[in-house]
Amino acid sequence: MSHLVTLVRTGRCGLITLASPPVNALSQAVRSGLVEALAAALADPQVEWLLLQSGGRCFSAGADIKEFGKMPQAPLLPEVINAIESATKPVVAWLHGVSLGGGLELAMACHYRLAEPEASFGLPEVKLGLIPGAGGTQRLPRLIGLEAALERILSGEPIGTERALELGLVDGVAAQGNTPEAERLSMAAELARRGVRPTRAREIHSSCDDPLDWLARQREALAASDDLAPFKAVEALEAAVSQPFATALAQERERFLECLASPQRQAKVEAFLTPRHDNRTRPKTTDDDSRETTA
């Protein structure tokens, strides 16, 4: 097993832990380690369910910015996420610190999610001229509803554990932070007993009588803007509502790549990275987590 991703059998649980400081960025090495650990756990007849967690200060702040502009290397994050969601044994995510961008997309692919009280969750891609590109526009509305999902994707702002529980993004919250491993395993085992629950199989709920009409009006309201990402995010949600999951997922990826190739996205990324470069000697604070990674 990779030193960045470990698998330990604890009773009937296959405990998979990410350990890629400072923010457990989803680099190629981490993605590869996840696939390897997942395959080993699923092949072990003594493992009945899996718990995915991270060491350090957060679950994952997303993709590794060191890979930006480089040729993508397998396994790609959507492939990793699909493998987790397709697991034949229940997978529970334990979330602490931040779960941002691809980190949250990874968590949403797990069958259940548990969180520590001070955790936070967000899809900040729009701030970089992107949309979620690993299923975020497809799984989030299945977990929290269409209207709430659009609000979260267009704002790019994170929410805390209390709001995440209220919306249905997480299934339970620990009583305190720094939860001991025995308590994490006990809480997760309760959920795992319910069996496999792929997020993609869930229905999208909406308070609108005609969700597609509502989305069309949101898209029209954005038409005057020269910002491509929000427009494409609405289109991706329209696909989520109107197309089979696999088709809509492929369309999300196409729209993500459109945004990735746009000059707007490059300008936003440069603006995002410049303060980080200018302040490279400044001591890091918690607020710097999202500057390590995105998407």
Quickly list DSSP for 68-109.
Answer: TTSPP-SSPHHHHHHHHHT-SS-EEEEE-SEEETHHHHHHHH
> Is 207 among the domain residues?
yes
How many other C-beta atoms are found inside a 10 Å radius of the C-beta of residue 212? Answer: 13
> Is 293 among the domain residues?
no
> Is 216 among the domain residues?
yes
Q: Flag residues of the chain having pLDDT under 70.
A: 1-2, 68-69, 269-295
Domain with 152 in it: what CATH number? 3.90.226.10
User: Contact, 157 vs 123, CB < 8 A?
Assistant: no
pLDDT of residue 92: 98
258 in active site: no
Among 85, 105, 235, 252, the one annotated catalytic: 105
> Is 213 among the domain residues?
yes
> Is 291 among the domain residues?
no
pLDDT of residue 276: 54
pLDDT of residue 287: 36
> Is 233 among the domain residues?
yes
Q: Can you give the residue range of the structural domain that contains 113?
A: 1-284
Instruction: Report the distance separating Cα 242 and Cα 118, nearest Å.
Output: 36
Phi–psi pair at 269, nearest 5 degrees: -65, -40
- End-to-end CA distance of the chain: give it in Å, rounded: 26
Q: What is the pTM of this model?
A: 0.91
> Is 290 among the domain residues?
no
pLDDT of residue 69: 67
> Is 22 among the domain residues?
yes
For residue 22, whether the previous peptide bond is cis, meaning omega lies within 30 degrees of 0, is: yes
Among 125, 147, 238, 292, the one annotated catalytic: 125
pLDDT of residue 67: 75
Instruction: Report the distance separating Cα 75 and Cα 190, nearest Å.
Output: 31
125 in active site: yes
pLDDT digit string, tens, across residues 237-290: 999 999 999 999 999 999 999 998 888 777 776 666 665 544 433 333 333 444
Count: domains in the chain: 1
